[in-house]
A and B are shown apart, each in its own frame.
Chain A
């Protein structure tokens, strides 16, 4: 290769060596920083198998503490789901975005986290209602 091309090539590699660790660091850190802190100042009122429900200024937030599935949607159902499919009477509450979901007060039943990508229920837990 000609010398000028080698120098240009070297400059690209130096840029690469500088940027990659930064991307990895920020990317790794951001995986936990998305756990919204503002909403989490409230008192955890319901521990779940897969996360917590927090109440803050009258609003209720769901946080998933396990792996967050792709395209997660939050549903409520009066009946316990059987298998991976959503129950017929499941009611869509909201999308789980940026690691939290604000959910309306619901009657006792079951809270379901459904992955639109995987088309299956990922998490479910009994919901006793807000105390």
Chain B
């Protein structure tokens, strides 16, 4: 028996992304979708910065890039700049793209390491076009040939997630998604199988559905409060548990990258949109008071604050099952990890695409649920390891928090990766997961983990040939960046800027 009705509970980023994704695929298959949200309940508006994968999501919805960028005041994003992570004063960019190109099937960075160890020093960043473009505040779309410098990189966006939700609401409503205003007061379950059958709203109305998408935020109204699924607490790995966020005016042109600056008890984000800059301080309240965190945030803003500081608290981790019975938790109800690598929206997207691929029928086969949970667990676990890397690949010892990380026993999967890198510049690979070897390379090299050695095969080619090859790649990058327009003017010319 086919599912006839989907109910989405909650209308933040996760809710409307789910509504858009599901209505795009299912509204012409006779499945009706209803989304319940209450204007009285605020949304968190997770991560305003994204990963390149969001473009696939938008594309599959048939969304025009310019329309989307105009509606959400979006800027382009080439990567994330990390400041003060390895040690105070350090800076590097984690770009969306590879460094150089393999030579004789050997990863490029081994040649870079070889030159480095012979005293020919260069920043790894100089071997990446998107990094140099970001640092110069420049952007243009990758051009035609994928093999050429200035073309083989990815990009994402920085946008107002509240406006994105609105944009997707319009999209969804045009595809027959019904939006109902109201607070959920009661959740009813089937006595036999425990499935949720309907929800009651404040005004006494009832919404029945076959499947429920829980986008109700941290509290997990259905997945946790009703189904008691349980939460896997990861705060021993990622102990930051609070954040304070504030928006400020933008000084200067909007930049094509996000910044994450390490602090003594957490880190601070800066996300430039077209019309304002989003800022926030993620911290561990054991080592800094709320007031002090707010003070630190406000005193480091680059422009005048235009909103009141907003306090958030969270527990890092994930729901033990993201799909339980007929409820799928997408967004904060499913789990939370600090937005250090802009993964929140990505995990929402993964949840939606996996659900579409594994969309059940009314019998809710166990095999669908198992496969969904297996995939999502893998996604979460691997993001966790990558985030943790930022905290442990460091020489910082200037605060209790950094000392906590220095003394931490790492998950073995992460420990082995770091050891293999430190020993010989070897990057462990996996297939399923967001962050691939270039990302690991960016962070490990960017935070001063310098391998003792490198792949001996890199010695086969004559030193001078390698040197001139790498020099010419750096040079080509510089020239390509020179010929790339300023980000702000490119936005305007492209027709995606609200400033005409």
> Are chains A and B native binding partners rather than an unrelated pairing?
no
Interface residues of A (CB under 8 A from B): none
